[in-house]
């Protein structure tokens, strides 16, 4: 029997109070009052921030680690708990209000933060804060990184499959108070420059009765984990520096390992989201490559693997806004136009790197500025340490125009490229030409990091003779599309009942 489709009823985003929004230049001055602030560290973080694509005045930092609000940074458990209660309290209260649910209506609770993992768990904290019932199934996921906002959807889907008709509250955030690094090691300072407060809470269910009240239906969801490789596993680590101060170490191998796992995730979902026309194009590409091999006796080096136009696969793109270079790398790999990238860059500008919540800020931007039409599709891509990637594909069940409080400052007006701190449509390498902030060596490292995201391609394997190739390609096309069609039909049938 086919699994019941998963519906996203609604979701909410954390909207930080104005007093926590930082002014970069005021913060830059106030930081000198901290004992841990040294000239080299101060300059490095400033350069990283100015090249990050993040607004100098809109993003939020907890009071415990904000130079204008505290005499010295405080990364203790009590300070982290204060941030967690603020974020979780707001987003959960808001999503319950939007859906008309009571805390006792929640059957499954899944929470996530990477660094701050207290005992009792954050899931237990939520149960205590909201007075949830004793029978709620509660799970907290720690150390899952930036990918969990998408990867976690696989867990939600599987939990609902095991418990059909139940209601799941899925909450994802990163508590950055405990992740703040007061030391001097450069590899650990990147997080101070990029990460900001954020969080999201969503209500999901596979109860058919909720379909008419829901915004979206989950069509496909995949995940990839390359942690069996030491290189991938060690690309991003929470560890002590030479002085014993804990920090998130971002190694030089991170860009290439992130590119690898991202490519695998996109490659895995692509056959399920391609159009009939793109299947035909892929088959023709396969046959041409096979014919070239047959005539030349070897694989023709000029025959490029087929890569679909992803703007024909999805109407909207939610990409992990981890930083300017990350988004430009994904843009290059998926060959997306600037317009398709604008929501993710807007999210980066106004909220910074919000870790596992970043793709949801992008989603809320789209709903707040132009909306989503019934039947339109959304491709959601997350990537994070481990290494792991998650890709989800959604379809709108109705017209959605919902101005989220966190985007109210835009007054419904979309962000344009001229509004961004850095351009996104000019030559790929020239955007890193910042002689005033980087040495030649640093400049080259950033360019190489950005270019490390490879093009995501569909390969067809070793070509066979033309006739056999045609038959094989046609059979594979029909098989893949038939499987997708059966899945959609089964989901629709279940929803109808």
> Exactly one of 37, 117, 163, 225 is catalytic; which is it?
225
Are 461 and 71 spatial neighbours (Cβ–Cβ below 8 Å)?
Answer: no
Q: How far apart are CA 227 and CA 8, in angstroms?
A: 29
For 351, the token pair is 């909220």
> Exactly one of 320, 404, 406, 451 is catalytic; which is it?
320
Concatenated DSSP letters of 238-263: EEE-TTS-EEEEE-TTHHHHHHHHHH
Length of the chain measured in residues: 497
> Exactly one of 146, 168, 221, 313 is catalytic; which is it?
146
| Known active-site residue 140 | no
Are 246 and 223 spatial neighbours (Cβ–Cβ below 8 Å)?
Answer: no
Are 73 and 183 spatial neighbours (Cβ–Cβ below 8 Å)?
Answer: no
| Known active-site residue 497 | no
| Known active-site residue 404 | no
Are 239 and 247 spatial neighbours (Cβ–Cβ below 8 Å)?
Answer: yes
Instruction: Report CA-CA distances (Å) from 227 to 114, 234, 239, 257, 296.
Output: 16, 9, 17, 10, 40
Provide Rg for the chain, Cα atoms.
Answer: 23
| Known active-site residue 36 | no
* Cβ atoms within 10 Å of 226's Cβ, excluding its own: 19
Per DSSP, which regions of 302-386 are E strands? 316-319, 377-384
> Exactly one of 112, 353, 404, 451 is catalytic; which is it?
353
| Known active-site residue 353 | yes
> Exactly one of 15, 168, 192, 316 is catalytic; which is it?
316
Concatenated DSSP letters of 119-149: SS-HHHHHHHHHT--TT-EEEEEES-GGGHH
Catalytically annotated residues: 146, 225, 316, 320, 353
């Amino acid at each position: 029997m086919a699994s019941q489709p998963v519906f996203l009823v609604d979701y909410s985003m954390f909207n930080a109070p104005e007093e926590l929004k930082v002014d970069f230049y005021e913060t830059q001055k106030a930081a000198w009052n901290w004992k841990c602030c040294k000239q080299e560290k101060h300059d490095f973080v400033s350069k990283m921030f100015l090249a990050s694509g993040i607004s100098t005045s809109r993003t939020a930092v907890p009071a415990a680690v904000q130079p204008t609000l505290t005499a010295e940074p405080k990364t203790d458990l009590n300070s982290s708990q204060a941030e967690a209660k603020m974020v979780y309290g707001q987003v959960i209260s808001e999503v319950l209000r939007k859906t008309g649910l009571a805390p006792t209506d929640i059957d499954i609770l899944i929470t996530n933060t990477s660094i701050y993992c207290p005992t009792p768990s954050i899931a237990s904290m939520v149960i205590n804060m909201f007075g949830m019932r004793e029978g709620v199934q509660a799970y907290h996921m720690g150390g899952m990184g930036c990918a969990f906002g998408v990867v976690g959807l696989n867990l939600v889907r599987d939990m609902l499959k095991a418990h059909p008709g139940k209601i799941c509250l899925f909450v994802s955030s990163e508590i950055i108070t405990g992740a703040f690094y007061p030391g001097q090691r450069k590899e650990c300072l990147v997080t101070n420059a990029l990460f900001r407060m954020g969080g999201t809470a969503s209500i999901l269910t596979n109860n058919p009765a909720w379909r008419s009240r829901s915004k979206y239906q989950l069509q496909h969801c995949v995940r990839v984990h390359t942690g069996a490789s030491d290189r991938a596993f060690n690309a991003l680590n929470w560890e002590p520096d030479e002085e014993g101060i804990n920090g998130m170490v971002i190694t030089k191998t991170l860009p290439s390992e992130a590119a690898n796992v991202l490519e695998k995730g996109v490659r895995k979902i692509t056959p399920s989201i391609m159009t009939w026309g793109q299947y035909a194009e892929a088959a023709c590409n396969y046959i041409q490559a096979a014919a070239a091999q047959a005539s030349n006796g070897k694989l023709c080096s000029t025959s490029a693997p087929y890569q679909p136009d992803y703007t024909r696969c999805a109407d909207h793109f939610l990409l992990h806004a981890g930083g300017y270079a990350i988004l430009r790398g994904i843009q290059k790999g998926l060959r997306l136009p600037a317009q398709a990238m604008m929501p993710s860059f807007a999210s980066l500008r106004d909220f910074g790197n919000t870790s596992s919540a970043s793709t949801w800020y992008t989603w809320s931007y789209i709903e707040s500025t132009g909306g989503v039409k019934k039947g339109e599709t959304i491709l959601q891509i997350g990537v994070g340490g481990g290494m792991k990637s998650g890709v989800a594909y959604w379809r709108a069940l109705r017209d959605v125009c919902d101005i989220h409080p966190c985007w109210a400052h835009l007054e419904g007006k979309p962000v344009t490229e001229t509004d961004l701190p850095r351009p996104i449509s000019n030559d790929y390498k020239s955007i890193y030409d910042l002689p005033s902030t980087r040495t030649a060596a640093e400049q080259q490292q950033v360019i190489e990091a950005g270019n490390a995201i490879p093009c995501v391609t569909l390969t067809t394997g070793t070509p066979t003779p033309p006739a056999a190739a045609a038959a094989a390609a046609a059979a594979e096309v029909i098989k893949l599309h038939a499987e997708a069609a059966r899945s959609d039909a089964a989901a629709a049938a279940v929803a109808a009942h």
